[in-house]
Copies of this chain bind each other. A is one copy, B any other.
Amino acid sequence: MKDYIREIETALERYLPEGEYEEQKLIDAVRYSLHLKGKRVRPSLTIAFAELCGTTVEMAMPFACAVEMVHTYSLIHDDLPCMDNDDFRRGKPSNHKVYGEDIALLAGDALQSIAYETMLSDEAIATVGGERAAKAARILANRSGLLGMVGGQVIDLSLEHRTVGAEIVQLMEEKKTACLIEAACMMGCVVAGAAEEQIKAAERYAHAIGLAFQIVDDILDVTSTAEELGKPIGSDAENEKNTFMSLLGIDRCREMVAELTEEAIRALDAFDGDTADLKDFAVRLANRKK
């Protein structure tokens, strides 16, 4: 995919307000997690689909950044002691290790609200229209909420210390991981005023690459070396986690990744424009070694 990372990171900074009093500490905490170097997969997908459907990077940017803000809030809350209790995120101390649990909690909360403020700003409404802005923001709320990403985390919590079937692991990952990627891709189409059929195709693409991404993750946790992966391996087995690998084995997992990648590529047939980058992205995701 075209490299939108620098533009996204500049825009993320632009949407943050200045603190008026002690809120500066909160804004610092928000900024810290927003700027941990990530691959910016979700916002890049929003922009890629928006461009594919005929709109500009600028029009898509508030929505792209909003997805990244919601993703970031979920990482901050996920790392909290009452959740995964992770001290590190992307090789740096996690938010609550730097700012304290109270500020980290509030930084996550604030990131969620600023995502909506960004998508529904006067500027965004003037550019894409109230109806499209509202619809795109609704999709993000839906996929990140009760029956989407947050729901997936609840399923994940419920799987500790019990063994379930692969269909439950799939349901969990569909919600926890794929839902937000679906929102990212669908929002790009909505902002560009694409047809319902194309929004659905973007959803299918996102669902397929989201699931494939997770299965590859599970495979690499078993087959890779810590050196290749850049993080400890074997942690799933150690934690007795229900994963695609533990439940289905490597052959079926590789088969699924291939099927899902084909599915993603097929979904792109619904678009007239140049989908080479999005196809390439799906293939690289399937073949990644880390």
Interface size for A (C-beta < 8 A) is 62
Interface string of A108-123 (1 = CB under 8 A from B): 1110111111001100
A144 within 8 A of partner (CB): yes
Which residue of the partner chain, among B25, B77, B133, B171, contacts A134 with CB atoms under 8 Å? B133
Asked if B30 and A146 sit within 8 Å, CB to CB, the answer is yes
Asked if A102 and B83 sit within 8 Å, CB to CB, the answer is yes
Asked if A116 and B138 sit within 8 Å, CB to CB, the answer is yes
Which residue of the partner chain, among B25, B142, B157, contacts A154 with CB atoms under 8 Å? B25
Q: Cβ of A80: which chain B residues have Cβ within 8 Å of it? A: 82, 105
Closest to A153 in B: B106
A131 within 8 A of partner (CB): yes
Interface string of A80-110 (1 = CB under 8 A from B): 1111000000000000000011110110111
Asked if B146 and A110 sit within 8 Å, CB to CB, the answer is yes
A20 within 8 A of partner (CB): yes
Which residue of the partner chain, among B27, B81, B121, B148, contacts A138 with CB atoms under 8 Å? B121
Q: Cβ of A106: which chain B residues have Cβ within 8 Å of it? A: 77, 150, 153-154
Residue among A77, A82, A131, A140 with most chain B CB within 10 A = A82
Asked if A113 and B26 sit within 8 Å, CB to CB, the answer is no
A225 to B153, CA, bound (A): 45
Q: Cβ of A121: which chain B residues have Cβ within 8 Å of it? A: 138
Asked if A135 and B142 sit within 8 Å, CB to CB, the answer is no
A22 within 8 A of partner (CB): yes
A216 within 8 A of partner (CB): no
Can you give 25 contacting A-B residue pairs, CB < 8 Å?
A19-B147, A20-B151, A21-B168, A22-B158, A23-B146, A23-B155, A25-B158, A73-B109, A80-B82, A82-B101, A106-B150, A106-B154, A109-B109, A109-B150, A110-B146, A110-B150, A114-B145, A116-B137, A116-B140, A120-B135, A125-B131, A129-B130, A130-B132, A130-B135, A131-B131
